[in-house]
Amino acid sequence: MGDYEVTDDELDGAMSGISTHVLDTSKGRPAAGVAVTLERWELDAWLVCATSKTDADGRCAELLTPANVLSGCYRLTFATGEYFESDGRHTMYPEVGITFDVVRDGLSYHIPLLLSPFGYSTYRGS
């Protein structure tokens, strides 16, 4: 992990631990029903922390509570192929994986996914 300065906002206990939000940019609306898996790298293996599906607003509001967020490497995996297939569409990316580092215990990370059948992007949200 590289150097990273933690701000007071990130230490705010009111934040949501680890969460995500999936937006289908090709339709201009939330992507409901996307299966999401959160894993943490531990002892040379990926261990599942949580599984969920995005709600009607495309959100998984709290995959991991702030008290359960430990520093380390995490991965969010989105079953995008199943999502597009359920809507009769093909995608070039049947699965999207986002690997990210948590630099201190208890920090909150909101990781949005902007999705279309032939591209995706992500960023650290708030």
pLDDT tens per residue across span 21-75? 999 999 999 999 999 999 999 999 999 999 999 999 999 998 999 999 999 999 9
pLDDT tens, 63-110?
999 999 999 999 999 999 999 999 999 999 999 999 999 999 999 999
Which residues, 6+ apart, have CB-to-CB distance to 47 below 8 Å? 39, 40, 41
Length of the chain (residues): 126
Q: Which residues pair with 53 in a beta bridge?
A: 35
Q: Which residues pair with 114 in a beta bridge?
A: 23, 121
The predicted model scores a pTM of 0.88
**Residue 18 and residue 62: Cα distance in Å, rounded?**
6
Domains in the chain, ordered, with CATH? 16-122 (2.60.40.180)
Which residues, 6+ apart, have CB-to-CB distance to 33 below 8 Å? 53, 54, 83, 86
